[in-house]
Amino acid sequence: MPRRRNQQRKKATQRQQRAQGSRSRNKQPPPVPRGGNRRSRRSKMPSGMGDLFDPRNPVLVPSIVSEGAAFPISGSTIRNLSMDTSVRTIVAYTNTGHAGTVMSWVNTSATPGSEVNTIPLLAAADTAGGPTSGRSMKGGLSIVNRTQVLNMGGQVAVLNSTQRVSLPAQPSSMTAAQWSAFMDEIVAHPKTRIYNGADFKKGKTFIAHPLDQTEYVHYEGWHGTLGLNEFWQRIAIWSDVNPEPRPMSTIFLVFEPNSVNNVYEFKTRSAFYTRWPLNTVPGQAHRPVPTAPAAVINAHRDHAEATSHLARAEEATVAMGLTGAAAWLARGAQVARGAAMVGEGIMNADLAVPLLAGMALM
């Protein structure tokens, strides 16, 4: 009898030990990922905001100090360009912050062809129904080669410039030879990346980033549509010209001729903080611009600057799904949740909400 009791106690003790061991194993921390405890620079950026300066990311860019109320708005332009077999073409993109014109292209034909691209809803000046003032927030350019795969070719040089460029004359007066010489300078720049036309079989996106903080947060009267020379006044300098403010970097692309015409699709994306008259619908939807500590914003700006020469991921990675204000509204709840994850980050994330569902841009 005593022997049976001892065996029962022994079994009970073993069952208790097994149960305790199971609970102990369940409490153990997960294994350390490969590479130990080292963290990449990207992982050190505040969570919940993603690649903040990518215009496909709907999270608003906060300010370090309060700058009052504004209406955030985003817009796109789409342009297809057929690259000639005998002339070179240069495309320039930037977000001036004070106009809907965001892109320009020029080629080296005998009489250089040129054009600017403007966001339709933001094409009117402040005196003609546009915003009373505005400033830049985000900007970027997506490019894809729509040519038949077998015919894709030609060299494409990409430079994300943080400095103004120098021109021998105003753009509308430059000759084909002068434009070609300028393109040579872009191609030869140490930070220029060289691609082949086939590299753009899948879309690539390049993003602009803020330069001078004072210019970046500066509100100015809305110019609406800019001409060729007016646009280049923001990114270049030449004799007898007064340069205009330049808040963000400029993305230059130089296309060399190929034996077969290649057709490229360019899609610009730009976001602004705008201010409208009180008696307009956007004017009644103003909200305080969100703020965040300098360390949070600087971490994202440093990341954008360090990776400005690299193409971003494909569309599906951070695509907005909808366009313009409708997308901002549809993602409002998600933006608020993302901002809450930042902790010491955005302090007024509800600015993402007051956008009009019916206001979709091209």
We report the CATH number of the domain holding residue 146 as 2.60.120.20
CA 343 – CA 80 distance, rounded (Å): 43
Q: Which two tokens stand for residue 150?
A: 């077998």
Does position 339 have pLDDT exceeding 80, yes or no? no
Burial of 343 (0-12, 13-18, 19+ CB in 10 A): exposed
C-alpha triplet 290, 248, 83: angle, nearest 5°: 130
Mean pLDDT of 197-223: 93
Mean pLDDT of 174-184: 97
The pLDDT tens digits for 6-64 are 666 777 777 766 666 555 555 454 443 443 343 334 434 444 567 899 999 999 999 99
Task: Please choose, from the candidates 352, 273, 210, 359, the residue with its C-alpha nearest in 3D space to the C-alpha of residue 69.
Answer: 273
Task: State how far the alpha carbon of 333 is from the alpha carbons of 81, 116, 353, in Å.
Answer: 38, 36, 8
Residue 241 lies in a domain: yes
The parent domain of residue 138 ranges over: 60-352
Residue 46 lies in a domain: no
Does position 345 have pLDDT exceeding 80, yes or no? no
Which has more confidence, 150 or 360? Answer: 150
Does position 286 have pLDDT exceeding 90, yes or no? yes
Alpha helices in the chain (DSSP H): 2-27, 176-188, 213-216, 228-232, 294-306, 315-318, 324-330, 332-341
Mean pLDDT of 341-346: 31
Residue 7 lies in a domain: no
How many domains, the chain? 1
Mean pLDDT of 173-191: 96
DSSP β-ladder status, 236-237 and 165-166: parallel
Positive or negative, the CA dihedral 233, 238, 242, 247 is positive
Residue 44 lies in a domain: no
Res. 4 pLDDT band, cuts 50 70 90:
low
Residue 243 lies in a domain: yes
Question: Which of 34-48, 273-287, 337-351 shows the lowest mean pLDDT across its residues?
Answer: 337-351
Under a CB-based contact definition with an 8 Å cutoff, are residues 290 and 339 in contact?
yes
How remote is the C-alpha of 282 from its chain's centroid?
23
Residue 263 lies in a domain: yes
Most confident range (mean pLDDT) of 15-19, 49-53, 230-234, 330-334 is 230-234
Residue 131 lies in a domain: yes
